[in-house]
Amino acid sequence: MSSNDKRRERMFASIRAGLEAYAPTNRQRAIDARMKSPPAPLVPQRAQKPLAEQKALFRGFLQGQSATVIEVASKAEIPKAVAGYLRANNLPLRVRAGADSYLRELDWTSEPALERMEGRAIGSDEVGLSRVTAAIAETGTLVLASGADNPVTITFLPETHIAVVEDKAIVGGFEGVWEKLRARFGKGAMSRTVNFVSGPSRTADIGGQLVMGAHGPRRLCVILVAE
Amino acid sequence: MNAPANLVVETTSPAFKENAREALADRQLQQALSAVAPGLAARRGAARDALPEFETLREKGREIKNHTLANLDIYLELFEAKAKAAGSHVHFAPTPQDAREIILDICRKANAKVVTKGKSMISEEVGLNHFLEEAGLKIVETDLGEYLIQIRGETPSHIIAPAIHLTQDQVEQDFRRIHTTLPKNRVLAEPAQLVSEARGVLRERFLEADVGITGANFMIAETGSTVIVTNEGNGDLTQSLPRVHIVIASIEKLVPTLEDVGTLLRLLARSATGQEISTYTTFSTGPRRKGDPDGPEECHIVILDNGRSQLLGTDFQEVLRCIRCGACMNHCPVYGAIGGHAYGWVYPGPIGSVLTPALIGVKSSAHLPNASTFCGRCEAVCPMKIPLPGLMRKWREAEFAGGGGPALYGLGLKIWAAFAKRPRLYHVAARFGILGLSALAAGRGAFRKLPFASGWTKHRDLPAPQRRTFQQLWAEQKAGVPR
Ligand code: SF4
């Protein structure tokens, strides 16, 4: 028996001694059932609105959390929105993106000055571009699942993060995210990281004053695509 | 047994009264505390008001944690199996010493020199930094607040705002003292300039680290994931850049499913900082997958017990529902007056007053359950509805019944718990509790300046307070008086 096994046994023995009061028989069956179909959580009213209202809620919360929100009518307009945002903020016209085919296949030739690099982010990258797996209206939150399409470093290393949100990504509340994740990765599985992002990085650790850009991005720009 | 063998982090809790007196006389501390804590409380109120379902969610959160704790063995097995299936190594640490040795061993095998760390109260509880440093590793705290106190050689004074006791001026002085390679005449007048400097310094550490250690707010049995919640994104750089990611978490962080995490997330940030949600919530599951261009190649999860399992089946089981939001300390008049360090061990405030006796024995922390006005505000705001004042009272009774010995270790507590449920003892012990308070008030005047709740001060002949009372501050805060 390895030393980890021994320590494991000790911990379980101690836990079970404390749980004696909870009739050990039948617990396993009840839990298997609960894991299979978890009791319906209390979903706040605000998370149960129709799409148009969800979109407004999502935008409102994100802006309140210091993100910039740009709305475009179709995905063809994304390159222009990206370049426009970078120019308006005096940022380099060079973005790092993953292997996401939706982003790759956009017509980037419409913005010849905009350089696009694929792969994980490195320390010198200044702008990251991602497409989200889901967007939560309830709290104004982006959901990004890691992988070759969407390397996790893009969300955290560059000072500026631009995220594309399609209408179909928007969900009312957290429950909609779980549904999407289970559909994509299978129940009980996940990508290495799933990141909820609700604005630029921030801290209030110095004198309680809010400052953006603690370690992650100083700026977050969300491009909402109405299709 | 006088001091539990697994007490690896020194305590100054026995000197609580002296600590408190010093804290009250510390001008910088008083300035720092008044700048932050009342704002957190006010924001929590606003966030609660903005979500009509909040109070019902508290009830649901309580049920989820109660259910999980009542079946902790099964959920721990499920979590372990899922985490392993995702490629994580799962380590069991009954004691702090086990946790430290397991982590050092992982670092050694990884040939690590530099270790970055996200915020983790459990790592404080096991005294991890000190232990790894003694073994020759360079440990870098990356949460800004944790970094600020690391460079001062201090410990956190608040569970979510570890440097809440520091003023901006102190931070500037520390940065000038520590960051000696930067130009001497640089301007550091604004918080933004200080944050920028720390960002630059820490970014280098992130990129050179061999191992990244984070805590976990939740461990999900359904997926084998661990979850961290931050505002800075430091925990993400900590776990995504190095080759090895180590998670250290205690057993009560388990939750069954994603649905359950959702309910707890709806409570956590609102209770902590008054945010709808923290800026970053990260679910981590195993090491990087085939084809992933980034993320750690190894993922280790170290699960700590440290006496928690012995609370199961006792009245103190309820404390294991805690999600470490900090609301109880943000709303506590005693904490607000003396800050966190006076409590003398890792966890300050009302949760500390209940948890510390459980973890290090009630003997060396006997003052803590007495550091309460029983105003009930902590229980009223606790998202997990932990009856903190009631549990403090029980510790007093336990200390009384146990002759001051650490009742927790071994069977002592369980026997005592059954005994204390009898009303006769309750009355005796309640009287003892009142005597305890009187003694405290008379004791060399240490608490005369404490802004106690009126229900308490009313019956006592106290000298005129030298500063505004908590009630005044509270009323002004609500009325929006700028301070
Ligand atoms: S005891 Fe309650 S209020 Fe205090 S930190 Fe824990 S969950 Fe939050």
Residue B370 lies inside a defined structural domain of this protein: no
CA A41 to each of CA A37, B55, B60, B477: distance values in angstroms, whole numbers, following the listed order: 11, 14, 8, 35
Phi, psi at B302, each rounded to 5°: -105, 115
Confidence check on the interface: ipTM exceeds 0.90, yes or no: yes
Contacting residues for B399 by C-beta, under 8 A, at least 6 apart: B357, B362, B363, B366, B369, B407
Query: Residue B20 has what pLDDT?
Result: 86
Three-state DSSP class for residue B402: coil
The pLDDT tens digits for B12-45 are 888 888 888 888 888 888 888 887 777 888 999 9
Q: Average of pLDDT values for A44-56? A: 95
In ligand 1, the atom with minimum distance to the C-alpha of B354 is 1
Q: Is B328 in the pocket of ligand 1 (CB under 6 A)?
A: yes
Check whether B421 has a pLDDT greater than 90. no
Phi, psi at A173, each rounded to 5°: -135, -170
| B274 closest CA partner among B45, B38, B34 | B45
Residue B475 lies inside a defined structural domain of this protein: yes
CA B453 to each of CA A15, B333, B334: distance values in angstroms, whole numbers, following the listed order: 39, 8, 9
Q: Which of B53-67, B150-164, B358-372 has the highest mean pLDDT?
A: B53-67
Q: How confident is the model at residue B456 (pLDDT cuts 50, 70, 90)?
A: very low
> Are A12 and A113 part of one and the same domain?
no
Check whether A24 has a pLDDT greater than 70. no
> Are B125 and B231 part of one and the same domain?
yes
Query: Residue B400 has what pLDDT?
Result: 75
> Are B202 and B82 part of one and the same domain?
yes
**Which contacts (CB < 8 Å, 24+ apart) does range B447-450 have?**
B447/B17, B447/B20, B449/B24, B449/B337, B450/B20, B450/B24, B450/B333, B450/B334, B450/B337, B450/B338, B450/B373
Check whether A13 has a pLDDT greater than 50. yes
Distance (Å) from the C-alpha of residue A16 to the closest C-alpha of chain B?
7
d(CA A76, CA A226): 11
Residue from B267, B323, B355, B377 whose mutation best tests the ligand 1 pocket (most atoms within 8 A of CB):
B323
Query: Residue A20 has what pLDDT?
Result: 78
Query: Residue B337 has what pLDDT?
Result: 87
Q: Is the model more confident about A175 or about B422?
A: A175
Please check whether residue B413 touches A, CB under 8 A.
no
Q: Average of pLDDT values for A73-90? A: 98
d(CA B419, CA B421): 5
Check whether B367 has a pLDDT greater than 90. no
Q: Average of pLDDT values for B236-258? A: 98
> Are B67 and B194 part of one and the same domain?
yes
Nearest CA to ligand 1 atom 6: B322
Q: Point out which residues pair with A96 in neighbouring strands.
A: A117, A128
Q: Is the model more confident about B157 or about B421?
A: B157
Three-state DSSP class for residue B263: helix
User: How many Å is the Cα radius of gyration of chain B?
Assistant: 22
> Are A103 and A16 part of one and the same domain?
no
> Are A102 and A197 part of one and the same domain?
yes
Check whether B100 has a pLDDT greater than 50. yes
Contacting residues for B288 by C-beta, under 8 A, at least 6 apart: A192, B294, B295, B296, B297
> Are A27 and A79 part of one and the same domain?
no
Q: Is the model more confident about B6 or about B64?
A: B64
Alpha helices in B232-348 (DSSP H): 234-240, 258-272, 327-330, 333-338
d(CA B337, CA B33): 8
| Least trusted range by pLDDT, from A16-20, A194-198, A202-206, B145-149 | A16-20
> Are B167 and B30 part of one and the same domain?
yes
Nearest by CB to A214, from B32, B195, B277: name it: B195
Query: Residue B107 has what pLDDT?
Result: 98
Provide the Cα torsion A111, A113, A118, A119; round to 10°: -130
| A161 closest CA partner among B190, B233, B119, B203 | B233
* Surface of B (251-290) touching A: CB under 8 A: 251, 256-263, 265-266, 273, 275-289
> Are A33 and A55 part of one and the same domain?
no
Nearest CA to ligand 1 atom 8: B325
> Are A162 and A183 part of one and the same domain?
yes
d(CA B268, CA B441): 35
Q: Is the model more confident about B17 or about B148?
A: B148
Q: Average of pLDDT values for B275-292? A: 97
Q: How many CA atoms lie within 13 A of B62 on its CB side?
A: 15
d(CA B114, CA B211): 7
Query: Residue B454 has what pLDDT?
Result: 33
Residue B380 lies inside a defined structural domain of this protein: no
What is the 8-class DSSP label of residue A41? P
The token duo for B162 is: 């570890």
Residue from B255, B320, B324 whose mutation best tests the ligand 1 pocket (most atoms within 8 A of CB):
B324
The CATH number assigned to the domain holding B46 equals 3.40.50.10420
Domain that residue B117 falls in: 13-310
Contact of B324 with B271, CB cutoff 8 Å: no
Q: How confident is the model at residue B9 (pLDDT cuts 50, 70, 90)?
A: confident
Strand order in the sheet with A68-72: A68-72, A219-225, A160-166, A127-131, A94-97, A115-118
Q: Classify residue B458 as exposed, middle or buried by CB count within 10 Å of its CB (0-12, 13-18, 19+).
A: exposed
Report percent pLDDT > 90 for chain B: 63
Check whether B194 has a pLDDT greater than 90. yes
Q: How confident is the model at residue B438 (pLDDT cuts 50, 70, 90)?
A: very low
Residue B429 lies inside a defined structural domain of this protein: yes
Contact of A206 with B171, CB cutoff 8 Å: yes
Residue B332 lies inside a defined structural domain of this protein: no
Phi, psi at A122, each rounded to 5°: -120, 170
| B158 closest CA partner among A173, A205, A62 | A205
Instruction: Return the residue matching tokens 């009930």.
Output: B376
Q: Average of pLDDT values for B364-384? A: 87
Report percent pLDDT > 90 for chain A: 91
- Residue to substitute from B49, B236, B255, interface A, most A β-carbons within 10 A: B236
Are the beta carbons of B292 and A146 separated by less than 8 Å? yes
> Are A16 and A101 part of one and the same domain?
no
Domain that residue A27 falls in: 1-37
| Least trusted range by pLDDT, from A104-108, B82-86, B114-118, B446-450 | B446-450
> Are A53 and A130 part of one and the same domain?
yes
Tally of domains in chain A: 2
The token duo for B141 is: 């705290």
Residue B133 lies inside a defined structural domain of this protein: yes
Q: Is the model more confident about A76 or about A27?
A: A76
Query: Residue B7 has what pLDDT?
Result: 56
> Are A161 and A180 part of one and the same domain?
yes
Residue B341 lies inside a defined structural domain of this protein: no
Judging by DSSP bridges, how do beta strands A134-136 and A141-145 pair with one another? Answer: antiparallel
Check whether B415 has a pLDDT greater than 70. no
Nearest CA to ligand 1 atom 4: B328
Q: Average of pLDDT values for B103-130? A: 96
Q: How confident is the model at residue B460 (pLDDT cuts 50, 70, 90)?
A: very low
Cα end-to-end distance, chain B, whole Å: 49
Query: Residue A126 has what pLDDT?
Result: 97
> Are A3 and A95 part of one and the same domain?
no
Query: Residue B36 has what pLDDT?
Result: 75
**Which contacts (CB < 8 Å, 24+ apart) does range B401-404 have?**
B401/B425, B401/B429, B402/B362, B404/B362, B404/B363, B404/B366
Q: Mark which of B310, B332, B364 sits at the end of a domain.
A: B310
> Are A137 and A220 part of one and the same domain?
yes
Query: Residue B221 has what pLDDT?
Result: 98
Amino acid present at B177:
R
Contact of A224 with A168, CB cutoff 8 Å: no
Mean of all residue pLDDT scores within chain B: 83
Q: Quick one: closest CA in B to A24, which residue?
A: B71
Nearest by CB to B171, from A12, A152, A206: name it: A206
d(CA B247, CA B121): 12
The token duo for A18 is: 């404390």
Tally of domains in chain B: 2
Residue B340 lies inside a defined structural domain of this protein: no
Nearest by CB to A8, from B92, B288, B292: name it: B92
Nearest by CB to B310, from A14, A195, A204: name it: A14
Are the beta carbons of B73 and A151 separated by less than 8 Å? no
Are the beta carbons of A39 and B71 separated by less than 8 Å? no
> Are B295 and B156 part of one and the same domain?
yes
Please check whether residue B418 touches A, CB under 8 A.
no
Contacting residues for A67 by C-beta, under 8 A, at least 6 apart: A140, A199, A200, A220, A221, A222
Three-state DSSP class for residue A216: coil
> Are A22 and A50 part of one and the same domain?
no
What is the 8-class DSSP label of residue A76? G
The CATH number assigned to the domain holding A204 equals 3.40.50.10420
Q: How confident is the model at residue B296 (pLDDT cuts 50, 70, 90)?
A: very high
The pLDDT tens digits for B324-351 are 999 999 999 888 888 888 888 888 899 9
Q: Mark which of B310, B343, B362 sits at the end of a domain.
A: B310
